Amino acid sequence: MNPRLIYLDLCVRDNVMRKLSVTLLLIIALMETISAQNFYSKRRDRTLMFSYGAGISTYHGDMYDILYDGLSPGPNVGLGLRKKLGSQLSMRLDLNWYQISAADSLTGASGTLGRSRGRTISTDSREIRNLSFRARNFELSAQFIFNLIPIKGSYSRRPLINPYIIAGLGISTNNPKGLDSTGSGEWVNLRELNTEVLSEPYSGVVMVVPFGFGLRLRANQFIDILVEGARRFTFSDHLDDVSSDYPSIDQVRQYHIDNGTGLEELAVRMYDRSAEAGFAPRKERNTRGNPEYNDAYYIFQLRLEMYLPDNFLGEIFSPSRKKPKFR
């Protein structure tokens, strides 16, 4: 074998071995550092927690106005960053994506329009109305979390099980869509169609007030499992695009002609779906919804929550952090 090749091969092997040795030393040092941090972290408190999870969301409004009307659960995913403020109180910044939906066809003929707190005030069946919607929204909220069992001292002394109360304030996008089953077959934006011919279309952003309960289960020293559910009270009756009375077909068409939207034919198809169920079209001022109460939705989630070191954010964004260099 060529001596020069042997020399080059030995140099390469030596270089590789040196890099492997340095890497092993770094790994050993890192493991020792983590072990030391874990030991001392039991004495220090961790006041910053990150959580993520998924679950189901449900809707409550003009289509499903009492619990047994119907249930069309949709998926949701969420992220949260919580800061401990005291032995029982903390604040969480929460971001959720969720889906809600409902359909009169799932309510059945026993459902009646305009029912107030379970009492029938109209004989116009929701089966005849035959409306439906689906909405995929984002929600951002600030929530107070109140532990029922105080956590005194370090986070490592927290109980195995701790129930808590959720209360806060936030905003959510509001984009109900309807399936254009007799036209394009696609989901179309109902808010743009202004199906009730409001003087001003309802907002695409609504204020929400989360209120609910949760249960925190300690999985290990650094991780908890959260099971929680909260109702979102809103200040809108248009999560489902249904609120008051039917306009006339001429009013629907004329609104879009006057505003130059080009959506008049689509709006005419979507504002009244009774004919699709085999019933006569609704007349102007027939009951379409009940404006007396605002809509709401529920988010139920299973989450993992991790206790972060107090210097976690500083370590991530620190300019002094350098990666090891190999030569």
Tens of pLDDT along 210-226? 999 999 999 999 999 99
pLDDT, residue 127, reads 82
- Locate 58 and state its tokens: 């449900």
20: left (phi over 0), alpha (psi -120 to 50) or beta: alpha
* pLDDT number for residue 119: 39
Residue 54's pLDDT is 98
CA distance 125 to 110: 7
pLDDT at 309: 87
Question: Rounded CA gap, 51 and 36, in Å?
Answer: 25
Listed as ranges, residues in the chain with pLDDT below 70 are 1-43, 66-70, 108-124, 312-327
Structure tokens given for 122: 């109209």
pLDDT at 3: 42
Structure tokens at 161: 């099980």
Where along the chain do its domains lie? Answer: 8-41, 46-310
Q: Looking at domain 46-310, which CATH architecture does it have?
A: Beta Barrel (2.40)
Q: Which two tokens stand for residue 123?
A: 């004989």
Question: DSSP alpha helices (H): ranges in 168-318?
Answer: 190-193, 249-259, 264-271, 312-317
Distance CA 255, CA 12 (A): 78
- Strand ranges for the chain from DSSP E: 48-60, 74-84, 89-103, 132-147, 161-173, 176-179, 187-189, 205-218, 223-234, 296-308
Instruction: Please give the C-alpha separations between residue 280 and each of 14, 271, 275, in angstroms, as whole numbers.
Output: 87, 14, 6
Kindly state the helix (H) or strand (E) to which residue 26 belongs, with its residue range.
helix 3-41
Per-residue exposure over 197-214, b if at least 16 CB sit within 10 Å of its own CB, e if not: beeebbeeebebbbebeb
What confidence score (pLDDT) does residue 266 get?
Answer: 96
Helix, coil or strand: residue 112: strand
Of 50, 58, 55, residue with least CA distance to 94: 50
> Could you give the CA distance from residue 63 to residue 42 in angstroms, rounded to a whole number?
52
Report how far residue 53's alpha carbon sits from residue 76's, in angstroms, rounded to the nearest whole number. 9
The CB-side HSE value for 110 (13 A sphere, CA atoms) comes to 9
Nearest to 74 by CA among 93, 96, 50, 94: 96
Contact between residue 52 and residue 303 where contact means Cβ atoms under 8 Å apart: yes
Rounded to whole angstroms, how far apart are CA atoms 303 and 35?
Answer: 26
Q: Do residues 140 and 95 make contact, with C-beta atoms less than 8 angstroms apart?
A: yes
